[in-house]
Every structure is written in C-alpha cells, then in structure tokens.
Chains A and B, each alone.
Chain A
Amino acid sequence: MLQSRSLRFALPVLLAMALLPLGVGGYILGLLTIGCYYAVFAMSWDLLFGFAGEVNFGPTFLIGVGAYTAALLNHYWLWPIPACLAVGSLAAVIGGLVLAVPALRLTGPYFGLVTLVAVLMLQNLLVLFAGITGGEIGLDLPDVLSIDETTNYYYAFGFMTVTGAILFGLSRSPVGLILQASGQDAVEAAALGFNVTKHKIAAFCISAFFSGLAGGMLVFYFSTASVGTVVDIAVGVNVIIAAVLGGRRTIIGAAVGAIFLVAAGELLRPIGQLATFVVSAFALVVILFFPGGFLGRLLQDGGRE
C-alpha cells in the first residue's frame, strides 16, 4: 500500500533530520531552514496541482500576501510575531479566495495565466507603494524568529513536518479523494454529487494558508521582507520546479525537491554563476528522462496490490 511506502520513506528521513543539529554546523542548518520553508511552499503547490488539478503559476502571490501582511504588521504596529503570522496567513487565504473564486471558472491555460498576472500585480503594487512597503528595498523588521541557527532550524523543521503531515493526511483522507476526483474529472465528480468548485476553493484556501504562513515565517527568519525573496516570479518558478522534480502529487516529493534545490544551489556555489545553469540543466534532465521525479517511481509504483 502506498501509505506505508511513503511513511517508510519519510520516517527515517525525518528522524535523521531531527537529529541533524547534533552533527552539523550552523550553516548547513541555516540552509536546511530555508529548504524547509521552500518545502512547505512546494507541498502547498502540489496540493493544488497534484490533487485539485489546477496549475497555479503564481504560488508567490499567496506567499507574498502572507509574508507582506505579517511584515507590515510587525514593522508598523510592532505586533508580536505569532499575531503577525496568524493575520498574515489569514490574509493569504482571503487573497486566495479573491483570486480563486472568479479564476476557477476558467480552464486550461487561463487559470494559470490569472495566477501569473496576480503575482505581477502584487509585485507592481508593492513597488508602487514603496513608501509603505519598502518597494524594491524591502522592509526590515524589528523582530526575528531567532538568531540561533538550531532554534531556527527546529522552527522550520517542525513547521514543515506538521504541514507535511497535515497535507499528506489530507490527500489520503476522504476529502482528498473527492479533491482528486474533482481534479481528474470534474464532470464525473459532479455527477457523483460533489460540488467541485467548493472543494477546489477549499483546496486553494488550504494551499494559501500554508503558503502564507510559510512566507511569514521566512520573512521573520530573515527579518527582512523583500520582493526578491517572497514575491518574485523566479521564486514561484523554483517552487514549481521543486514539486515537479520531487514527484508530482506525492506531497512528500515536493518537499524533497525543494530541499534538493536549495541544497544543490548552495553546494554549487563554488562554481559561482554557473550554479543556476547546472541546477536548471539537472532539473531539465530529470523532467525529460524521469518525468515522475525523484519519488515518482518510489511512491507510485505498479498496480497497488
């Protein structure tokens, strides 16, 4: 059964990651911290794509709305971090609703386009109201999650694990089943009596919630909110590549892909500029020759018996 196969893969990895601070230095932890937040981005995206069947080209819209809401509250009103995060993720959900309710009427490339345009709009607005948002400079925050790498790592790792468990559980739950049915064949799902739009919007909200929360936490990790970190199209592209690379509709694969991308970018830092080139080339090779991604084979094998 798939469930046990996924868990058999995930548990040892999680255990190893939990024990990691005993063995490695602060820098590697810092790296994995970012990797964990990206993993949440990618898993949230995978919930939408892999299960609800909707290609969201603008994951950074949700991430950015959550991140900037949290950042602004902290910068101007000095709200405590948990309150900023809560309101930030709520804002991401509302932003997601505003985007999804009309956009889900559209099919094919149009849904993707709306999500893409949403990101460009957000980016433009942030730059336009630079006086408030800090524009291209970004917004520096008075608060930071922690300056201790180990603490930061456990925040991020714990967050990723909980999110992963929730999203994975959700994808295997009855609701996840309905969602998959809606994603794969909307007509048939409706004929079975399911309100496809309702379920897709719910999925969008869940994706938005975790994306926004992760965006907020990332901002408090850096203690800087900048367009380049949480809004830029390039960030969204990386999220999508991570999910496809790791293996679509596996949730866990998305996390693996995200951590891989962050780690690979860093390991290749000595070759300087060519690092991005090499990582892209590698991802391209995976997509061309192993379209199932890293975990596609491992987790989705055979006729299930």
Chain B
Amino acid sequence: MRPLQILIDGFAISSLYALGATGFTLMFGVSGVLNLSHGAIMVVAAVIAWYVAGDLAAGPYWGALAGVATALAFAFITYRVIVRPIQNSPSIPREEKEIFVLTGTLLWGIMLQEAIAYLFTNNPKTVRPLITGVVEILGVRTPINEILTAALSWIAIGLLWLLVNRTRAGKALLAASINPRGLTLLGFELSRIYWLVWAIYGVLAGIAGVLLGAFLGVSSDNAGTLTASAFSIVVLGGLGSVSGSLIAAYVVGYLETLTAYTVAPSIRTLPVLLLLVAVVYVRPQGLLGRR
C-alpha cells in the first residue's frame, strides 16, 4: 500500500508543481524573462479567490474566477510597469538588463507580498475546494480535491499544449521562443507575442495559485518559497524547456514525497537541493535544455 500511496500523493503535488512552473518557463523561453514575482502572483490569486469565495460569499466558482482574473491583471501590470520599461530603458546596458529585471520583479514580488499581508494578514488561507469528499483508489483514500487538482492541472497544461501546437497564435509563440528575429521578418509584431505570453502566464499562474490555495493552502509568507521552487524546477528541466519542466516537476514532487515518507518529513527539500546542485554542475543546461 505504501508505494501506491506515494505514487498517488506524489502525483497531485507534482502536477501542481508542473502547472506552476509551466508558465514561468514559457515566459523565459519566449521573452527571456525570469519573473521573480511569480510566487507573489500565485499567492495573490489564491488570496483573492479565498476572499471572494468566503468574505464576499460569492461561492467557490466565482472565487476561482476572480483569483485567476486578478493574476492575469497582475501579470499584465508586471509586464507593463516593471519588465517592459527595463527592457526599453536606454540607460541600462544590455548585459545588465537581466539583473535589473530580476531585481525589479523581486522588489515587485515583495511589494505584492507585503500588500497581501497588510490587507489580509499573513495567516495561511485555504480556498474552499470546488468538490469535497474522498474516494478510495485501490485502497488508498484520496480526497476528490486532490484528484481534481491533478486533473485541472493537466487540463490546463493540455490546453496550453493545444494552444501552442494547434493554433496559429501558438505556433507564433513557439517560433518566438526559437528565433524572435526570424518571426519579426515574417511580419509578426513581437510586442503582441509578449503580451500574449504574459496573458498565458497570468492565467496559468492564477490557476496554479487557486489550486494550491484549495489543495494545500497559502500564506503571503510562501511567496518566496513558491518562486524558488518554480525556479528550481525550471532549472532542473532546462531553462525555457516546457517539457523539461514537466518532467522536472515530477522528479521534484516525487523526490520530496518519497523523502517525506521514507526518511523524515523535516528534510523533504534537501534531496532536491542536492540534485539541483549536481545537475547544475554536471549538466547546467538542465535535463532537456539546450545551450
């Protein structure tokens, strides 16, 4: 029973990690931006969902919708107010744009985190799940919410896959991640592509945040940890490689779960860090990354 339990529990948390990291890595792949306010945006989505569903008594569906919409809005703000001005600034040398974007989004993330703590306190919040109850899967009692989390994560990832591989806009997005200059020459406006990728990012981060809020609960204090875990997963999988991140998310999710079950819950993140160090030293481009 133990292995099966690890399999099932690891799956849900890994799916959520995968969803959280997908938008993050897509963004890096297409526009070269590492958004360090990622965790804060997820927290904003979860807290807004909690607030709308609970305090405003609008119910879990409206709450989830409001959470995702807020994340989308904040993704746009992040791009418009922080990232784009830095990218377009003539007074920042090109080789330093990266550190400025990192510092800028980091500060922005701290601001969001503090604002949430101020308005809603830093108490952990749990979004009321869409469905409650448990089912038995081969003798393992599993909350329906856990299944729902995994399922919704995969639906979101699947929709993203369809969007990227089956629509014109998605193809352009993919092309931009490979060769933005080539795309410009074919008459595409990169600025539109960037807006699109921030929109996708916002929706994905929002869904991930709301699901996380319903599955594990979030506090504004988690913002940094969430960013760090997305970052680790993305590096493990290869910067910019969506499929790499998906695999890495499962590696991380299962490694953590396995450690928590078989060694001790207090060191659950340590093996992941060791793996990360090893990967960065031996294969810095990540599992599926290219240099």
Contacts and interface: CB of A to CB of B under 8 A. Distances in A.
Contacts of A120: 228, 269, 273
Contacts of B235: 109-110, 113
A128 B263 CA distance: 13
Contacts of A110: 235, 280, 284
B280 A113 contact: yes
A117 B277 contact: yes
Given A117-B280, A280-B111, A288-B85, A124 B269 contact: yes
A276 B114 contact: yes
B239 interface: yes
Interface residues of A, number: 36
Contacts of B186: none
B131 interface: no
Nearest to B270: A124
A234 interface: yes
Contacts of A292: 91
Given A109-B239, A273-B117, A284 B284 contact: no
A138 to B, nearest CB: 18
Contacts of A244: 99-100, 103
B34 interface: yes
A283 interface: yes
Contacts of B117: 273
Nearest to B108: A284
A233 interface: yes
Given A55-B99, A114-B277, A234-B224, A124 B114 contact: no
B216 interface: no
A273 B280 contact: no
Contacts of B106: 237, 241
A277 B107 contact: no
A167 to B, nearest CB: 20
B103 A240 contact: yes
Contacts of A49: 99
B276 interface: yes
A128 B118 contact: no
B114 A273 contact: yes
A133 to B, nearest CB: 14
Interface in A118-177: 118, 120-121, 124, 127-128
Contact of A274 (B82, B98, B114, B267): B114
User: At the interface, is chain A mostly helix, strand, loop or mixed?
Assistant: helix
A281 interface: yes
B89 interface: yes
A284 B277 contact: no
B86 A288 contact: yes
A231 to B, nearest CB: 14
B27 interface: no
Contacts, number: 95
Given A55-B99, A124-B267, A277-B118, A288 B104 contact: yes
A49 B103 CA distance: 14
Contacts of A291: 89, 91-92, 100
Interface in B37-96: 82, 85-86, 89, 91-92, 96
Contacts of A280: 107-108, 110-111, 114
Given A114-B280, A124-B273, A280-B110, A273 B118 contact: yes
B267 A121 contact: no
Given A237-B106, A288-B82, A291-B89, A277 B115 contact: yes
Contacts of A127: 266
Contact of A128 (B91, B108, B270, B284): B270
Given A273-B114, A287-B104, A117 B269 contact: no
Contact of A287 (B34, B107, B111): B107
Contacts of A114: 277, 280-281
Given A124-B267, A128-B266, A287-B104, A277 B111 contact: yes
A193 interface: no
A49 B104 CA distance: 17
B284 A106 contact: yes
Contacts of A234: 224
A276 B277 contact: no
Contacts of A270: none
B111 A284 contact: yes
A303 interface: no
Interface in B261-275: 266-267, 269-270, 273-274
A12 interface: no
Contact of B104 (A55, A248, A284): A284
Contacts of B115: 277
Interface of A: 49, 55, 102-103, 106, 109-110, 113-114, 116-118, 120-121, 124, 127-128, 233-234, 237, 240-241, 244, 248, 273-274, 276-277, 280-281, 283-284, 287-288, 291-292
19 contacts: A106-B280, A109-B98, A109-B235, A110-B284, A120-B228, A120-B269, A240-B103, A241-B107, A244-B99, A280-B107, A280-B108, A280-B114, A283-B107, A284-B104, A284-B107, A287-B103, A288-B85, A288-B86, A292-B91
Given A49-B99, A287-B86, 10 more contacts: A110-B280, A113-B231, A120-B269, A121-B274, A128-B266, A273-B118, A276-B114, A281-B107, A287-B100, A288-B82
Query: What 6 A-B pairs come out closest when comparing CB atoms?
Result: A277-B114, A284-B107, A110-B284, A280-B110, A280-B107, A291-B92
